Amino acid sequence: MLLLFLSVKYAFIYYNSLVFPLFFYSSYLILLYKIYNANNKYGLNFLLNKTSDYSKLLLTGNEAIALGGAKAGVYTAVGYPGTPSSEILPYLSKLNSSAIVNWSINEKTALEIAIGTSIGYKRAMFTTKHVGLNVASDPLMTLALTGVRGGLVVVTADDPGMHSSQNEQDNRLYSKFAKIPMLEPSDSQECLDFTSKAFDVSEEFDTPVILRTTTRISHSRSVAVFSGKFPPAEELENTKNIYRKDIEKFVMVPVYARKRHKTALERLKRLIDFSNGSGLNSIEYNDKEFGIITSGISYQYAKEIAPFASFLKLSFSYPLPDLLIKDFVKNVKDIVIIEELEPFIQNEIASFGIELKGKEYFPQDGEFNPDIVLSGLQKAGFFNGKKHIAKENDADKDFRISLRNTLPPRFPALCSGCPHTSVFYALKKLKVPVMGDIGCYTLGALPPLNAMDSCISMGLAFGAAQGLSLTKSSHKKTVGILGDSTFFHSGITSLIDAKYNNAKFTAIILDNSTTAMTGGQDHPGTGKNLSSNQLISNKIDIKKIIEGIGIEEIFVIDPYDYNDTFKTLKKALDSNNLNAVITDRPCVLYPKKIDTGRKFKISDGCTGCDLCMQTGCPSIRLPYEKNGAVNPVPFIDSSCIGCSICRDICVFNFIEEISQS
Amino acid sequence: MGDSTQNILICGIGGQGVVLAGKIISHAAFESGMDIKTSEVHGMSQRGGSVSTHIRFGKKIFSPLIPKNGATAILSFDIYETLRYSDKFANINTIIVSSNDGKTPAWTSKTKNGTIKNNFTDIYSIASVLKDNFKSLTLLDDKLIAENLGNIKVSNIILIGALSVFTHIKEEIWLKTIETNVPEKTIDLNINAFMKGRDSL
């Protein structure tokens, strides 16, 4: 919360320093600061509306997208949290833009809400991470046929390099697959401008529009100039468009869908004209011997490495501008295509009968950076001869450090006091097959816990547990494990299916009352949403849902009580029924940081048997002596929040509570 | 990568305040009227993993990422991470401001016969390797200074203060930036910590 607060404040407190003399500027900053603190919620709005004509801001791509959406008069903005897209909606909800901004239960439902809004003649925005668009792909594919009424923009944030994802699929392919036009910003200014533009294109061409970013666009800050105002609430609420039916447009039964497919194909032709002529795609001629065709973040790396080259920068990257490309190819001698992940541009250009090189020099996996782009351009011969010299980095021939390989890697880990810890520790001891899922608890798969055997898609756990248990390939009972937000997202359906098909496994729901991995977003089980910090509905009770399904054995445990956790899990696994275990402890980070106030220490006599360190708790560490020798007896450092799990795990009772009187 | 471009890499452990430090430094650079780009890490790595923030500012910036061995300065909150990121981003001229303390990766543990898994390097030998490699290295006992100031949480600000000496950003801009980025109640404490770090060199 603090971080969010800071980031919001931080982004808007900047004001064009050139406009004011320094003394005035200083007092202006203090004034803004006071306004902000005096009126936390509307401070941003005040600032934006007062300085309507010009504000220079340092924004992340996600902040800029939110601002662009607000400027475009988005009426409904929905999504499901997923890195790197998660900050767009919270940021938008902080702007007083009159928009309805909410988390949905999953991406499919979110897109469907956006579609309904569009049918109601209002502008709608749907945000998702790349894999979330798979979940929403069913409505997406047919939405491409129906088209829209109010503008509809799908923001997909891809994750090349998989900073926080299970795959690195290239969602540009969705635009071609679904015949939906796509915009690709390359910095925060473009995020802001293109988001607004996307709504105009959507309405002009009667089509949803994909705005595709990547981690390096969404999570990089760059300078963006905001001008204009948010449309006033009255304008958003205008009801000049009264709902009417149009079944030929929105009822996709075969007879109408066939017609709409033709419409979509015809629309694509008009979009190619737009792609050629709108100015979104542009040519910068420099040295005509070397040309680069690129889009998104790759454009920035290429400009850094080869500023001398001629550029065809693709911002409207589907459908591609055939005429511009032909022009560029005619005028420039050696051309390479620089694109992260799939050879999307390369294959599209090849379909025009023009063979250009790209993936011959650049990898098809992983995230790019300036060094990869440099090495690719070197291979492509951009720095052969004396004409252009590759920028060598500083004289580091004598540079001797190369100890990185001797450093232990520092994997992400469950937090100190994380309630998931004891469940995974117990599962490890019970040696059962564990079908896992996606969330913080995926970290239970890493050493030293090593207690999760799969992580493939959101909501996989219970389906995979049913399938695995059918095979009888393990003589132990199978476990399916997921978190509360994932349960709502897509775990419920699989659990109903398990009951329906008489499956036999133990379903564990790690309920920490938040969507933790993505930063603590609300979900139906918290009863709150972005539109309000207050409880807006009754919390939807996971236990009651499971009871409603008809599962009779349901255990609710406190994971801070390790002994009870172990016993209960063992009991659930000994029973041959489909049963459920729900853990009931809040996340230690969200919505607020938890410290129980209790303190523990490892007492004298500990022989360093390692058991407590097998929890992976970051607060239990091995100390180092001055001479470099390792002291084998661990200690508990000050980051301990007093969950007491390690005390229960130490069978020798060497971990004791420090009494604080 | 023009001569005037500053490439500052901040590294540490997820949850340690790397993102906030990035905000303060980039905010200060932005206030100074320079073009700027930064790149942050969110999501999974924030759970105690090894994290970094790239900040680049100067006349005109394209890439938000610092090229290999291209950092003009490295600010690190953990000495293990100092070594990890120096290896990739530093050159012999890079200014390094680092905590002299480090946290052993949590999962690293002993084998049954008492030896440590991995060819582990302790913080003292890391310090000497860093000293051997860099002309401009500052290892600060930031935790001790913070404790003397009465709040261990300001150790990051102390390190930022030390780093600030090496930038072209004016002191008043730094102070203003800190004011706007920390909770109101802690402004004095943070300013104090910043100046302690700044004066420590």
Confidence of residue B43 (pLDDT cuts 50, 70, 90): low
Q: How far is CA A561 from CA A138, A431, A579, B135, in A?
A: 43, 20, 20, 52
Taking 3-state DSSP, the helix, strand and coil percentages for chain A, each rounded to the nearest 5, stand at 40, 15, 45
Contact yes or no for B26 and A221 at CB 8 A: yes
Residues A116-171: tens digit of each pLDDT: 999 999 999 999 999 999 999 999 999 999 999 999 999 999 999 999 999 999 99
Best residue of B42, B117, B118, B170 to probe chain A, by most A CBs closer than 10 Å: B42
Instruction: Round the average pLDDT of chain A to a whole number and report it.
Output: 89
CB contact under 8 A, A413 and B33: no
Put simply, whether A389 touches B (Cβ < 8 Å) is: no
Q: Which of B13, B44, B61 to mutate to test the interface with A (most CBs of A within 10 A)?
A: B44
Contact: B47, A220; criterion CB under 8 Å: no
Of A546, A389, A439, which is closest to residue A83 (Cα–Cα)? A439
Quote the pLDDT of residue A46: 35
C-alpha A316/C-alpha A182 separation (Å) is 6
Q: Are strands B50-58 and A209-214 parallel, antiparallel or unpaired?
A: unpaired
The closest CB to that of A408, out of B15, B105, B110, belongs to B105
pLDDT digits (tens, 9 = 90+) for A420-463: 999 999 999 999 999 999 999 999 998 889 999 999 999 999 99
Beta strands (DSSP E) in A356-455 are 434-435
Residue A247: the pLDDT is 97
**Separation in Å, CA of A399 to nearest CA in chain B:** 6
Query: Considering chain A, what percentage of its residues have pLDDT values greater than 90?
Result: 77
In this structure, are residues A144 and A207 in contact, taking their beta carbons and an 8 Å threshold?
yes
Residue A352 has pLDDT above 60, yes or no: yes
> Would you call B106 and A618 a contact, using CB atoms and an 8 Å cutoff?
yes
A103-121 exposure pattern, b = at least 16 Cβ within 10 A, e = fewer: bbbbbbbbbbbbbebbbeb
* Contact assignment for B13 to A10 by CB distance below 8 Å: no
**Confidence (pLDDT) at B124:** 81
Strands (E) in A296-366, as ranges, are 309-314, 316-318, 334-338
Give B12 to chain A, closest Cα distance, Å. Answer: 10
Measured distance CA(A37)–CA(A104) in Å, rounded: 30
In this complex, do B27 and A621 lie within 8 Å of one another by their Cβ atoms? no
**Model pLDDT for residues A167-207, shown as the tens digit of each residue:** 999 999 999 999 999 999 999 999 999 999 999 999 999 99
Percent of chain B with pLDDT over 90: 61
A86 interfaces chain B, CB cutoff of 8 Å = yes
Q: Which of A396, A402, A620 sits opposite B91 (nearest CB)?
A: A396
Quick one: what percent of chain A has pLDDT higher than 70? Answer: 88
Using DSSP, state whether B20 is helix, strand or coil: helix
Closest residue on chain A to B114 (Cα): A632
CB A124, CB B4: distance < 8 Å: no
Residue A292: strand, helix, or coil: strand
DSSP secondary structure letter of residue A488 = I
Name the more confident of A25 and A264: A264
Instruction: Say if residue A15's pLDDT is above 60.
Output: no
A564 burial type by CB count under 10 A (0-12 exposed, 13-18 middle, 19+ buried): middle
Chain A residues 245-304 with CB within 8 Å of chain B: 297, 300-301, 303-304
Cβ neighbourhood burial of A616 (10 Å; 0-12, 13-18, 19+): buried
Interface touch B40/A219, C-beta < 8 Å: yes
> Is residue A400 scored above 80 in pLDDT?
no
Write out chain A residues lying below 8 Å of B157, CB-based. Answer: none
Q: Tell which wins on pLDDT, B168 or A630.
A: B168
CATH architecture, domain B6-102+122-199: 3-Layer(aba) Sandwich (3.40)
Of all residues in chain B, the one with the smallest CA distance to A629 is B122
Give A96's pLDDT tier (boundaries 50, 70, 90): confident
Check residue B16 and give its pLDDT. 86
Domains identified in chain A and CATH numbers = 1-51 (no CATH), 58-240 (3.40.50.970), 282-379 (3.40.50.920), 420-584 (3.40.50.970), 599-658 (3.30.70)
Mean pLDDT of A643-661: 93
Given a cut of 60, is residue A28 above it in pLDDT?
Answer: no
Mean pLDDT of A459-483: 97
Give the pLDDT of residue A232: 87
- Residue B9: helix, strand or coil by DSSP? strand
Beta carbons of B70 and A394 less than 8 angstroms apart: yes
B27 closest CB neighbour out of A10, A400, A443: A10
Per-position b or e across A431-465, b if 16+ CB within 10 A of its CB: ebbbbbbbbbbbbbbbebbbbbbbbebbbbbbbbb
pLDDT score recorded for residue A589: 93
Rounded average pLDDT over B62-87: 94
**pLDDT at A40 (0 to 100):** 30
Predicted confidence (pLDDT) per residue in A543-571, tens digit: 999 999 999 999 999 999 999 999 999 99
CB contact under 8 A, A371 and B67: yes
Provide the shortest C-alpha distance from residue A159 to chain B (in Å): 11
Chain A from 144 to 163: CB within 8 A of any B CB: 163
What local confidence, expressed as pLDDT, does residue A34 receive?
38
Do residue B181 and residue A222 have CB atoms under 8 angstroms apart? no
Q: Phi/psi at A414 (nearest 5 deg)?
A: -65, 145
Is B15 in contact with A415 (Cβ distance < 8 A)?
yes
Which chain A residues are closer than 8 Å to B61 by Cβ?
Answer: 222
Comparing B48 with B6, the larger pLDDT belongs to B6
Q: Does A518 touch chain B (CB under 8 A)?
A: yes
Residue B126: what pLDDT? Answer: 84
Residue A310, pLDDT score: 98
Q: Is the pLDDT score of A217 beyond 50? A: yes
pLDDT (mean) for A494-502:
98
A179 touches A215 (CB < 8 A): no
**Which is more confidently placed, A171 or A631?**
A171
Do residue B48 and residue A618 have CB atoms under 8 angstroms apart?
yes
Contact map slice: A 542-561 vs B, CB within 8 A: none
Q: CB of A392 within 8 Å of any CB in chain B? A: no
Which pLDDT belongs to residue A52? 40
Cβ–Cβ below 8 Å for B36 and A396:
no
Contact A628, B122 (CB under 8 A): yes
Q: Which pLDDT value is given to residue A219?
A: 96
Of A26, A163, A610, which has the smallest distance from its Cβ to B41's Cβ? A163
Note whether B113 contacts A: Cβ–Cβ < 8 A. no
| Rounded Cα gap, residues B140 and A89, in angstroms | 40
Average the pLDDT over A621-641 and give the result. Answer: 76
Q: A303: distance to nearest CA of chain B, Å?
A: 6
pLDDT band per the 50, 70, 90 thresholds, residue A31:
very low
Measured between beta carbons, the chain A residues lying within 8 angstroms of B11 are none
Label residue B3 by pLDDT band (50, 70, 90). Answer: low
Distance CA A635, CA B189 (A): 30
**How high is the pLDDT of residue B36?**
96
- Scanning every residue of chain A, which has its alpha carbon at the shortest distance from the alpha carbon of B126? A403
Grouping H, G, I as helix, E, B as strand and the rest as coil, residue A14 is: coil
> Which residue is listed with tokens 């394209």?
B62
Residue of B nearest to A301 (CA): B63
The verdict on a CB contact (< 8 Å) between B14 and A412 is: yes
Q: Which of A368, A403, A425, A614 to mutate to test the interface with B (most CBs of B within 10 A)?
A: A403
Confidence (pLDDT) at B105: 66
- The answer to whether residue A596 scores a pLDDT higher than 60 is yes
Do the beta carbons of residue A198 and residue A182 sit within 8 Å? no
Closest to A411 (Cβ–Cβ): which among B49, B92, B120? Answer: B49
Q: Which of A87, A301, A396 sits opposite B92 (nearest CB)?
A: A396
- Give the bridge partners for B61, in sequence order: none
Q: Are B39 and B54 in contact (CB under 8 A)?
A: yes
Answer whether A14 sits within 8 Å of B31, measured CB to CB: yes
Dist CA A239 CA A557 (whole Å): 51
